[in-house]
Structure 1
Amino acid sequence: MKTLKNNLNIQEIQNNLKHKHNIEIFDSIDSTNKYLKSKINEKNYGTIVISNEQTNGYGKNNRQFMSNKDVGIYMSILINPNCLIEESLKITILTSVAILSAIKSICNLDVKLKWVNDIILNDLKVGGILCESQINLSTNIIDNMIVGIGINVKEFEFLPSLKNIATSIENNINFKISRNALISEIINFFDLYFIEKANYIDLYKENSYVLGKDIKVIQNDKQFYAKAIDIDDSGSLIVQEQEKIIKLISSDISIR
């Protein structure tokens, strides 16, 4: 058994899992995604790396992700999605629904999902997802993918620059939760959707933070305003710009 003073516990997590996973826990690491990328040829699929702290956590477009000690879940999962590049969004969507399902199961909170990789609680960001892939260029198929998950769990004081942007789970409830229990639930729901192929697209749409809303789309060096009208089975966001219907695969969006 590996127990850290911060109470992250491999045995406690594994005891509550439906499917077996090799789990590694660190007290501090630069980035769980970076670690798995550096060891990708040495690790089995399904390996999960968790750290109590990240000293260089990052998100989409290499934006810094605050990963303070003892207060969050910072984890990465190595998988083989065996899908085309165009289908890779589905893994981010799937992971979002797994996190939503786990938080609702443990905390009964009304979590929303902002396309494509943000977890929203009371209009503030409580977590995010970063999927990084190795692609076989001859087949256009993703051979390896690292699914990075970051969630603010414990109650703590955010920097002034983040107070109107971010929140934590415990900042929205009146009881303490076990990070081990929440990690186990996230993994179990991830396995339900990824391994057991349970439907998740409908849940994503039902809990969307953007569908039906007017949004600003930032795409490369251009931006335009549109209305989010649907999310298709590949995970793409369908928007309407005046009379045009546009399918978004990779863009930054904000609510108007």
Structure 2
Amino acid sequence: MESTRDRLINLLAENEDNFISGQALSESLNISRNAVWKHMKDLEKDGYEIEAKPRKGYRIKENPEKLSSNTIKWGLDSKWIAKTVLHKQTVESTQTIAHQAARENAPHGTIVVADEQTNGKGRMNRTWHSSKDKGIWLSIILRPEIPPNHATQLTLLTATVLADVLNTFENVEPLIKWPNDILLNRKKTAGILTEMQAEQDRIQYILIGIGLNVNQSISDLSEDIQHKATSLRIETKKEWSVKKIIQQLLTTFETAYDGYMDEGFGPVKRKWEHYGFKIGENIKINTFNDNWEAKFLGISEEGALVTESRDGKPVTLYSAEINWF
């Protein structure tokens, strides 16, 4: 259910170029004109520039770049994603906050977004460097009606969403390194961490954690990762609106997720393989008891890596150490 603040934001967005009277807002929202005024003051605290004129009403002159629940929702054209936004300035990890919210029955499509993570989590308990105001650090709470063994398909779907978003920027060619690292110019710019709470045959919730480097300069990256990490700013030589990219990411994700629920994993698999780093090329593979070099053929329905065995037959690997470079 939409809050009064959300409905106010939607009314102002729909009348972006015109004034809307306090009386009209009062009647539409079923609150007093004094309550309307208080909401406007709260929006100003978020950085909105509100123009108020006697006998005309209110309009938004300018909306801010700073992140908040309100600014993310402002102008976001979505059906179900980000109807609930939990914005934090500094957290250890958005995944931690999202787990707590999910256990407290946060609805499907809730997002947790932070300006900064002090202990961002990557796959295999690796640390993700999450600079303040420089990137996108968010988690999406999903409650899909799919078998638990299909959860990895949502990780692969999210990778294609990130690739699609980055692909809209000029002179940027994203690739997905199996299973879910997004590369620009052979360097990591985004990663995905999927965590799940499930019973044997039913998913309670899935968390999709996304970290995307946007406006870091080389000096913002620690020396130990400068040779293997990058950002959108480094690759394009421009700064970008983090808020607008979050909104683009959310609407792209919603469309892709709805398509997946309607059509299944086939289209996702094809798109992943379109972006797949080194598909059709030889890679070096190390498993627990063997190592060899073979062609990377694609991914399986479970998201596993499909390559060739020593005798040239297709083989599916669920875990392996790959020497990509």
- Following superposition, the deviation at residue 108 of structure 1 comes to 5.5
Q: How do 1:1-80 residues align onto structure 2 when only pairs under 5 Å count?
A: 1=43, 3=46, 7-14=66-73, 15-20=75-80, 21=82, 22-42=84-104, 43-80=106-143
SS of 1:147's equivalent in the other structure is strand
Q: What residue in structure 2 maps to residue 175 of structure 1? A: 238
Instruction: Tell me which protein shows more helix as a share of its residues.
Output: 2
- Aligned equivalents of 1:16 and 1:36: distance in 2? 21
Q: What residue in structure 2 maps to residue 145 of structure 1? A: 206
SS of 2:203's equivalent in the other structure is strand
SS of 1:75's equivalent in the other structure is strand
- Aligned equivalents of 2:137 and 2:197: distance in 1? 21
- Following superposition, the deviation at residue 218 of structure 1 comes to 4.7
The letter for the 2-side match of 1:18 is S
Which of 199, 215, 226 is the equivalent residue of 1:154?
215
CA 1:87 to 1:251, structure 2 compared with 1: closer, same or farther past 3 Å?
Answer: farther
- Aligned equivalents of 1:146 and 1:190: distance in 2? 14
CA 1:167 to 1:84, structure 2 compared with 1: closer, same or farther past 3 Å?
Answer: same
- Aligned equivalents of 1:214 and 1:97: distance in 2? 22
Q: CA RMSD in A?
A: 2.2
Task: Please identify, of 46-55 and 207-216, the stretch whose mean Cα deviation from structure 2 is larger.
Answer: 207-216
Deviations 1:77-125 (A, max 9, x none): 0002332333222111100111111122255621110111101000000
SS of 2:119's equivalent in the other structure is coil
The 8 Å contact of residues 9 and 180 in structure 1, kept in 2 or not, is answered as no
The 8 Å contact of residues 17 and 187 in structure 1, kept in 2 or not, is answered as no
SS of 1:26's equivalent in the other structure is strand
The 8 Å contact of residues 6 and 52 in structure 1, kept in 2 or not, is answered as no
- Aligned equivalents of 2:204 and 2:98: distance in 1? 14
Structure 2 unaligned residues grouped into runs of 5+ = 1-42, 48-63
Q: What residue in structure 2 maps to residue 224 of structure 1? A: 291
Which of 174, 182, 185 is the equivalent residue of 1:122?
185
Larger Rg: 2
Task: Please identify, of 103-112 and 156-165, the stretch whose mean Cα deviation from structure 2 is larger.
Answer: 103-112
- Give aligned pairs, total: 253
Output the TM-score relative to the length of structure 1: 0.90
- Aligned equivalents of 1:143 and 1:233: distance in 2? 22
Structure 1 unaligned residues grouped into runs of 5+ = none
Q: Which has the higher contact order (CA 8 A, sep 6+)?
A: 1
- Aligned equivalents of 1:49 and 1:17: distance in 2? 18
Output the TM-score relative to the length of structure 2: 0.72
- Following superposition, the deviation at residue 6 of structure 1 comes to 7.2
Deviations 1:53-72 (A, max 9, x none): 00111111100110111111
CA 1:65 to 1:9, structure 2 compared with 1: closer, same or farther past 3 Å?
Answer: same
CA 1:189 to 1:61, structure 2 compared with 1: closer, same or farther past 3 Å?
Answer: same
CA 1:247 to 1:82, structure 2 compared with 1: closer, same or farther past 3 Å?
Answer: farther
CA 1:107 to 1:48, structure 2 compared with 1: closer, same or farther past 3 Å?
Answer: farther
- Aligned equivalents of 2:120 and 2:314: distance in 1? 36
The 8 Å contact of residues 213 and 255 in structure 1, kept in 2 or not, is answered as no
The 8 Å contact of residues 47 and 77 in structure 1, kept in 2 or not, is answered as yes
| 1:211 aligns to 2:244 (yes or no) | no
Task: Report the identity percentage.
Answer: 26
SS of 2:215's equivalent in the other structure is coil
